[in-house]
Amino acid sequence: MTIDGTTNPLETGIDEIERYALEECIKRQRVDRCISALILPDNRCEMAIKFARLGAQVVVADRPELRQDVEGRILSAGLRDEISFAPCSLVDLPAATEGEPFDIIVIRRGLSTMPYDEARRVVRQLLLKLKIGGKLYLSVLGLHSELGDAYAHREMSIDQRYAELSPELAGKYEIRQSVCLYSERNLFMLLLEAGASVLRTLTTTHGNVKGIAVRV
């Protein structure tokens, strides 16, 4: 079960960030046929396949042990030339990633599993993997979602907020590790402090938080 991506159990229907990112891909193709995207992670390749079928060159980044499964899905979709796999995660991003600089980067989940300062470092590193004018799309777990109920660090400042969920919710959503929950303002400041120009933030009806930023 994912914890802050497009298949989060707190969400219903198509994810807003996925829709905005795919729309951006279509817009960019009107002026440039060579569109590149990095997705972290996408181990079922659902989003990567959607991008590839729009004509983009896609890199899926995920844990090395998932390579066989991911590449199997790529082959099954007949998109071996359009999608490639990069064995890494948010916490161990390489200095250079195949295909960079990218037009679009999508962080489907993972930022909430690290303290705020580390998340800011990761976002800053990912911005450098974008072309100037490239866009970053990301999702994080919301402080004002159900996950914030009985969350021990609910009243702490974002730079100190990193704790386990209540036992009931940790079991319900299978989120056993400490997490940092965000308000919409927290995500706005994360992107701003990382050096991005913030285009949009939003809070879903279920309380999760999403953002779109551009490298300038």
Record the tokens describing residue 168, joined without a space: 């009931």
Q: What is the mean pLDDT of residues 109-116?
A: 94
In this predicted structure, what is the pLDDT of residue 14?
Answer: 57
Task: Name the residue with higher pLDDT: 13 or 111.
Answer: 111
Nearest-5° angle of CA 86, CA 91, CA 92?
50
The answer to whether 18 and 47 have CB atoms below 8 angstroms apart is yes
Q: Where are the domains of the chain?
A: 16-214
Task: Name the residue with higher pLDDT: 56 or 5.
Answer: 56
pLDDT band at residue 9 using 50, 70 and 90 as cut-offs: very low
Average pLDDT over the chain, rounded to an integer: 90
Residue 10, pLDDT above cutoff 50: no
pLDDT band at residue 4 using 50, 70 and 90 as cut-offs: very low
pTM listed for this prediction: 0.90
pLDDT tens figures, 50-96: 999 999 999 999 999 999 999 999 999 999 999 999 999 898 888 88
Q: How far apart are CA 26 and CA 121, in angstroms?
A: 30
In this predicted structure, what is the pLDDT of residue 31?
Answer: 84
CATH class of residue range 16-214: alpha beta
